[in-house]
Amino acid sequence: MNLKELVQDIIDKKGVKAVFGDPIVKDQATIIPVAKLSIHGCGCDRDAKEPAGKRRKNPVKNGEKTCQGLAVKTTPLGYIEIRRGNVRFIEIMDKTKVIQAGIMLSGLALFLLARLVGERYR
């Protein structure tokens, strides 16, 4: 099975449910979960049993094993809410990204403050 057939097989089996979940109906509202589907592939000319950093000096010959991989990842993005004829998309916010940005900004502020204070006392 080649890569194109494998990706098509994933799409055929999951279809739209890989991106849009089953609709949930409750209290005159319909909720449709939304996710992002990512497919990442890898192929290289090293034996899967070799250490990751080791590269072959000679190209792969027929019959030798190569390292190949494929990863499928779904990430929730939010949901579509349908209520009384109104449709809206509600995004799920990733709190870890907000926290990481806050940590980086506070670190930058401390660095700049230390440089400013250091220049005054020279």
Which pLDDT tens digit goes with each residue over 55-88? 555 555 555 556 667 777 778 888 999 999 899 9
Half-sphere CA count of 108, side-chain side, radius 13 A? 6
Whether 6 and 68 have beta carbons less than 8 Å apart is answered as no
Domain locations in the chain? 3-91, 94-122
* Averaged confidence pLDDT in the chain: 78
pLDDT at 72: 75
Q: Which secondary structure element, helix H or strand E, spans residue 118, and what is its range?
A: helix 95-120
